[in-house]
A and B are shown apart, each in its own frame.
Chain A
Amino acid sequence: MNLLEFKDVTKYFGGLAALKAVSFYTQPEEILGLIGPNGAGKTTLFNLISGVYSPSSGEIYLNKDSIKGLKPYQICKMGVGRTFQIMQPFGNMTILENVLTGVLFGRGSRLQLNEARKKAIDLCEFVGIGDKVGAIATEVTLADQKRMEIARALAVKPMLILFDEVMAGLNPTEIDEAIDLVERVRKMGITIILIEHIMRVVMNICDRVIVLHHGEKIAEGTSEVISKDKEVINAYLGEEI
């Protein structure tokens, strides 16, 4: 069964088509990479899934239910979590409070404050910031803020999680840790869609890759196939030297 399915989704901003008739689906527990040059429509696609925008035409199905026109909080409660390309921590809250907010209002049954707090601490430990739960979210390192965003996205108990450039700006060691974290998230039984510019990451962890260019899907397949695709090389990867 496909958790997420896009059918000919088009999104216009004024006269400009940010996405043109894009169709794809996700397979269970896979890591689906989403690559393409700047302005290709990757983040727009995420915003369509999480309900920030509504498609101009076409249909989006989550678990066979149409989510077209639903509000972000409704889609969240159906099991979609996400991080943001430009990080959006609640700056006056601690890391724990950030994650706790997701636990309290996400999918699933309502938790007591104390249980929810335990769950939030577990999540912080899972992503590796268990020792910093009391720190103000904007006062920790970039890598820890990214971890906090991942923990917060996991807090809503998602079936599908959207990672928007979670590795950007990290150093090589941190990238290795992040790759490991993404793998562990997949092992929890969560399907992942990953926007990424670092090809090493894409080659390593993505089961399949979709390439967007000027709002159109120009290629789809395993990372092997994608890296040899002529059109992808011209549009995004560039020639091998």
Chain B
Amino acid sequence: MMKEKLKALSIKSWLGIVFIFLFLFYYPFWVTPYFLHLTVIIIMYAVLSSSWDFLARTGQCSVGQAGFFGIGAYTAALLYIHFKIPPILGMFAGGFLSIFVSIILGYLCLRMRGIYFAISTIAFAEALMVFSLMFRSFTGGAMGLSVPPLFEGNRIPSYFLIFSLLVCVLFFVVWAENSRLHFAFASIRENEDVANILGINPTKYKILAFMVSSFFTGFAGGFYVHYTTFIIPYDVFGLHISIACLIMPILGGLYTILGPVIGTLILMSLTEYLRVTITYGHQIIYGIILVMVVLFLPQGIVGLWKQSVGSVKSLLLNVTSHEVKL
């Protein structure tokens, strides 16, 4: 099905795709360090929100993504400080430890549904924050941990690293969207009991989604600590990270391929713009915009786009329409 759709793309849209890739490749060489830094952080948040959305496809709303983010960050930092493990291996270690934790947490918490799962994930992240504050000799407590800058402070390779991570996440998303997984996830989200009667093991698929989601979140955490060189528990385990993970996909469009990325791009740019232009009270405007979006754009930006723009563009945004030609 994917192949058919790729064939259906016109030369014009192929040119567009090539152009976008060239642009993304040369982008870091053109912009100022400030914009490059902002871009890296935006892409990192895009990874977080896309991986949150991957789990959300099974109908599970996690408000504890910060837990995995922090696990990844602390794992990468501690491995570097104590064993001089190279940063990239440390990021992988953070990702794999997150998978391991997600399996245990999944078996304990994914039997709960809706709001109860959400609450238990908040508790998970908050517990880790308290833990990292208490074990001062191990985690540095509120003093935090510091590591030398990634790639000797050169932001360009960092850009390509986090960008590849985003491509990997999107690869998983496209795979889930175009395979039998899509039907498993969507039916569990719609009605878990009926999915069960139709031969789908809900726990299995929910844990699978949780594993994928937490791996990328953990990896991004590892990247964050090496990129910013310094973390304190509140920075990585804080509720603001978990909330950001779910607000951005909601703004961009839930269960779509590019929705979370677009949501992140818009929300982060807006935050930064407001922060620079309105010194005091920029968060009030930010809040008002969020309320407006939830009230008037329940389908998100991608949903709005799909309603108004023709098929080629919506195809690029979401390859989900499974209509049949008879």
Q: Which among B183, B195, B201, B202 has the highest number of chain A CB atoms within 10 Å? A: B183
In whole angstroms, what is the CA distance A52 to B198 when docked?
12
For this complex, into which size category does the number of interface residues on chain B fall?
Answer: 20 to 34
Interface residues of B in 187-206 (CB under 8 A from A): 187, 190-191, 193-202
B23-62: CB near A (< 8 Å → 1, else 0) gives: 0000000000000000000000000000000000000000
- Verify A101–B183 contact, CB threshold 8 A: yes
Complex-state Cα separation, A104 to B190, whole angstroms: 16
Residues of A within 8 A of B196 (CB): 71-73, 76
| Most chain A Cβ neighbours within 10 Å, of B1, B187, B202 | B187
Whether the pair B1, A73 counts as a contact (CB closer than 8 A) is no
Contact assessment for B187 and A90 in the assembled complex, using a CB-CB cutoff below 8 Å: yes
Q: State whether A102 and B201 are in contact (beta carbons under 8 Å apart), knowing that A91-B190, A96-B324, A114-B1 are contacts in the complex.
A: no
Query: In the complex, what residue of chain A is closest to B187 when comparing beta carbons?
Result: A101
Docked-complex contact A88 and B198, CB < 8 angstroms: no
Q: Does A93 contact B (CB under 8 A)?
A: yes
In the bound complex, do residue B324 and residue A117 qualify as a contact, i.e. CB atoms below 8 Å apart?
yes
Which of these binds chain B: A105-113, A171-179, A200-208, A212-220? Answer: A105-113
CA separation between A156 and B198, bound complex, in Å? Answer: 7
Does A25 touch B at the CB level, under 8 Å? no
A107 to B198, CA, bound (A): 9
Decide yes or no whether B12 CB sits under 8 A from chain A.
no
Name which of A82, A104, A116, A134 has the most chain B CB atoms within 10 A of its CB: A104
Q: Which one, A88, A96, A121, contacts B194 given CB within 8 A?
A: A88
Which has the most chain A C-beta neighbours within 10 Å: B195, B197, B324? B197
Main secondary structure of the interface of A (DSSP, over half): helix
Residues of A within 8 A of B183 (CB): 97, 100-101, 104-105
- Bound together, the chains give a CA A88 to CA B192 distance in angstroms of 11
Instruction: Kindly supply a per-residue 1/0 record for chain A positions 77-106, scoring 1 wherever the CB is within 8 Å of any chain B CB and 0 otherwise.
Output: 100001010001011111011001110111
Q: Does B292 contact A (CB under 8 A)?
A: no
Closest A-B pairs by Cβ, 3 of them = A90-B190, A105-B199, A76-B199
Given contacts A90-B191, A101-B195, A130-B326, 5 further A-B contacts (CB under 8 A): A52-B197, A84-B194, A93-B186, A113-B1, A133-B324
Q: Which residues of A contact B (CB under 8 A)?
A: 50, 52, 71-73, 76-77, 82, 84, 88, 90-94, 96-97, 100-102, 104-107, 113-114, 116-117, 121, 130-131, 133-134, 152, 155-156
Cross-chain pairs A/B with CB under 8 angstroms, 19 sampled: A52-B197, A73-B197, A73-B201, A73-B202, A76-B196, A82-B197, A90-B186, A90-B191, A97-B183, A104-B183, A105-B183, A105-B198, A105-B199, A106-B198, A114-B1, A116-B180, A121-B324, A130-B326, A156-B199
Partner-A contacts on B (CB < 8 A):
1, 178-180, 183-184, 186-187, 190-191, 193-202, 322-324, 326
